Amino acid sequence: MRKMNSNLLTIIVSGPSGVGKSTLLSFLPKEEFYFSISHTTRPPRHNEKDGEDYYFVEEKTFLEMIERGDFLEWVKVHSYYYGTSKGEITKANTLGKHLVFDVEVIGAGKLKSYFGEKAVTIFIAPPDFETLKKRLISRGTESEEKIKERLERARFELSFAGFYDYVVINDDLERAKERLFSIIKAELCKPSKVFAKLKDLF
Ligand code: ADP
Ligand code: 5GP
C-alpha cells in the first residue's frame, strides 16, 4: 500500500488499444510521475526499449513469476501476457512520485480493489470507432490480423468506461491533454492530498 507520501496520486488509466493513452501520458513530467513498467510476453515494437516501455520476457519467465506470486495483477490479452509486478509500487514510493498505471480494464479493476479510495481511475475514449481504427492503422505497429484482434477487444474495453472516475475523450490532442491535466489538478486539491502536505495547518 502507499502509506508514506499520501499526498501522492495513484492514477489508473485504461482505454482501447490505439486510443492515445501512451501519447497523452507522455505529457506528464517524468520528474513528478512514475510510470509503472509492466512485464509482457509481447515482442517489442521498433521504438520500444526493454526496461523503459516494458520488461519484455519469455512466456516461461512470465509463468514462473505468476507461480512465485510476483504480480499484483496479470492478464492475457491480444494473445500475450501482461502484468504489474509488486516492485513497481515500492519504486514509486521510494522516488516520491505520483504513480501511473496504463492497464486494460480487468487489471484496472484489480488495481482499484487493491488501492481502494487512494486510486483515481481514468478511461481514455476515442471520439468514435472509425477514428480508433484509423489511429491503430496509422501507428503502423501491428499486423492486419493483430489490428482486427485489438478492435474486437476495443468494444469490450469501451463497455467498462462507466465504471471509471473520469472519462477523457481523446478527439483533439491538445483538448484531451487539458482534460487530463484538469483531472490531475482537481485530484491534488482533494482534502486528503492537501492535508498530507500541510500537516502543521490542519
Ligand atoms: P495507445 O497507447 O492507447 O495504444 P498511442 O498513444 O500509441 O495509443 O496512439 C495511437 C496512435 O494515435 C499514435 O500514432 C498517436 O500518435 C495517435 N494519436 C494519439 N492521440 C491522437 C489524437 N488526439 N489525434 C490524432 N492522433 C492521435
Ligand atoms: P500494448 O500491447 O498496446 O502495449 O498493450 C495492450 C494492452 O495491455 C493495453 O490496453 C495496456 O493498457 C494493457 N497493459 C499493459 N500493461 C499491462 C499490465 O501490466 N496489466 C494489465 N492488466 N494490462 C496491461
Question: What pLDDT, in 10s, does the model give residues 112-155?
Answer: 999 999 999 999 999 999 999 999 999 999 999 999 999 999 99
Q: What is the pLDDT of residue 197?
A: 77
Decide if 124 contacts 170 (C-beta within 8 A): yes
* Helix/strand/coil for 56: strand
For residues 88-105, give the mean pLDDT.
94
> pTM for this one?
0.96
Query: Does the pLDDT value for residue 4 go beyond 80?
Result: no
Task: Count Cβ atoms within 10 A of the Cβ of residue 102 and give its class: 0-12 exposed, 13-18 middle, 19 or more buried.
Answer: buried
Q: What is the pLDDT of residue 6?
A: 78
Q: What's the rounded Cα separation, in Å, for the pair 161 and 168?
A: 10
Query: Does the pLDDT value for residue 3 go beyond 90?
Result: no
- Angle separating helix axes 129-139 and 144-158, nearest 10 degrees: 140
Q: Would you say the CB of residue 139 lies under 6 angstroms from ligand 2? A: no
Reported confidence tier of residue 1, pLDDT bands at 50, 70, 90: low
Query: Does the pLDDT value for residue 200 go beyond 90?
Result: no
Reported confidence tier of residue 195, pLDDT bands at 50, 70, 90: confident
Reported confidence tier of residue 74, pLDDT bands at 50, 70, 90: very high
Reported confidence tier of residue 2, pLDDT bands at 50, 70, 90: low
Q: Would you say the CB of residue 75 lies under 6 angstroms from ligand 2? A: yes
Q: What's the rounded Cα separation, in Å, for the pair 24 and 152?
A: 23
Query: Does the pLDDT value for residue 5 go beyond 60?
Result: no
Give me the sheet containing 10-14, strands edge to edge. Answer: 33-35, 98-102, 10-14, 119-125, 166-169
* Helix/strand/coil for 94: helix
Q: Would you say the CB of residue 14 lies under 6 angstroms from ligand 1? A: no
C-alpha grid cell for residue 47? 521504438
Q: What's the rounded Cα separation, in Å, for the pair 199 and 194?
A: 9
Report the sign of the C-alpha dihedral through residues 133, 139, 145, 146, in that order: negative
Chain mean position to CA 86: 15
Tell the residue nearest (CA) to atom 25 of ligand 1. 173
69 CA to centre of ligand 2 in angstroms = 19
For residues 13-21, give the mean pLDDT.
97
Tell the residue nearest (CA) to atom 18 of ligand 2. 83
For residues 173-193, give the mean pLDDT.
96
Query: Does the pLDDT value for residue 85 go beyond 70?
Result: yes
